Amino acid sequence: MFAAGHFLFCLFTFYFCFFTFRLYNNHSVMSENCLFCKIIDGTIPSARVFEDDVCIAFNDISPQAPTHILVIPREHFDSLDKAETGHKETLGHLLLTAAAIAREKGFSEDGYRVVLNTNADGGQTVFHLHVHLLGGRQFIFPPG
C-alpha cells in the first residue's frame, strides 16, 4: 500500500516537473495557437526549402509569384512592430537567408522582392514575423 502511494507520488512529481519545465522552456520561443509555430514544430506540414538553428523557410501555400517562400524565425515574435534590439541578429539573419535562397534558386541576378507586411494596414494576416521572398517574375512599384 505504501509502495503504491509512493509510486503515485513520484509519478505525479515527475509529471509536474516535466510539464513545468516544458512550459517555462517554451514560453519565450513558442506561442500557443500560432500557425507558424505549429509549422516550426511540425504539427502543421509545410514544404521546407531551408532550415537552421535560427529560422526555417518554406513555400507559401498561396504563391503570388513562381517562387514564393516564407522565411520565419524559430523564435516567436508577432511582427516587426514588436521587434526589439535583441532581435537585430535574427532580423539580419532572415534577410541574408532570403538572399542566399534567391541565389540558390537562380533568380538573384534577375531580381526579386522581399516583403515584410506589418500589422493591419501593412496586410499582415499571420502574426509570427515572416519575410516573403518572391521571385521569377517582374514586380511593379508601388505594390497595391
126 in contact with Zn ion (CB under 5 A): no
Q: Are 131 and 93 in contact (CB under 8 A)?
A: no
37's contact among Zn ion, ligand 5GP, none, with CB below 5 to 8 A by partner kind, is Zn ion
124 binds Zn ion (CB under 5 A): no
- Strand order, beta sheet including 112-115: 48-51, 55-59, 67-73, 131-135, 112-115
φ and ψ at residue 35, rounded to 5 degrees: -55, -45
Min dist CB 89 to Zn ion, Å, is 18
Structure-block grid coordinates of residue 94: 532572415
CA distance 60 to 130: 11
CB of 5 to ligand 5GP, least distance (A): 47
How many residues at the interface with ligand 5GP, by CB under 6 A?
14
What amino acid positions are annotated as catalytic residues?
A: 130
Contact footprint for ligand 5GP (CB under 6 A):
35, 44, 46, 58-62, 70, 117, 123-126
